[in-house]
Amino acid sequence: MLKFNECTLLKLDKTFALSQVEENQILQDWIGSHADISDFEQQSLNLYQGILKRHVHDWNEVELRQHFIGPILTLVNFSNPKFTMFAERSFSGVVDDIELSGKPDGMIASGFREPEKPYFCFQEYNAYQHEIYGCYVVGDIWHFMVLHGKTYSISGSYAATRDDIVDIFIVLKRLKQIIIDLIEK
């Protein structure tokens, strides 16, 4: 059994014969698309960005999630009867006859009370018929990822302490629409 928290890119590459590709149309479509931002959302982003700038070098991982990442994800509002944001929920699956399990930091998955089918994950790999979207955050730097089949791509960095915060929010808002479209297929 492979635990999510033991997974590194190298381990996943070797275990599942994955390869990183530089160009990925799915990733480009996701991070390059547009979403409208309301005045309230812009004001909220400015508030969260100010808090992040003051504390990014002092917060631990949990504080970063509680004070910045969580509020940004809540502002997008990934909660509805068909999918929602789950945090540190036990989750497992079998990929290429290898069982994976653990409690990912967070995931957006179908299901209302319990996660069923993941669409966006922190620190997780799952093989599904659709692509898996993800991100990792180190301090104020965000990277977005897409896993499709046996290939994955990682975006350039977005700094939440700069104007990139708007781009981060747009990428997350587009993710919400992508998930809605996947569920309606």
Q: Which two tokens stand for residue 152?
A: 């994955």
What's the pTM value of the predicted model, to 2 decimals? 0.78
User: C-alpha dihedral over 56, 88, 176, 118, to 10 degrees?
Assistant: 140
Domain range holding 161? 2-184
Contacts of 93 (CB under 8 A, 6+ apart): 99, 100, 101, 126
Q: Is the pLDDT assigned to residue 26 strictly greater than 60? A: yes
Q: What is the pLDDT of residues 90-127, one digit of tens each?
A: 888 888 888 888 888 888 999 988 999 888 876 433 34
Q: How many domains does the chain have?
A: 1
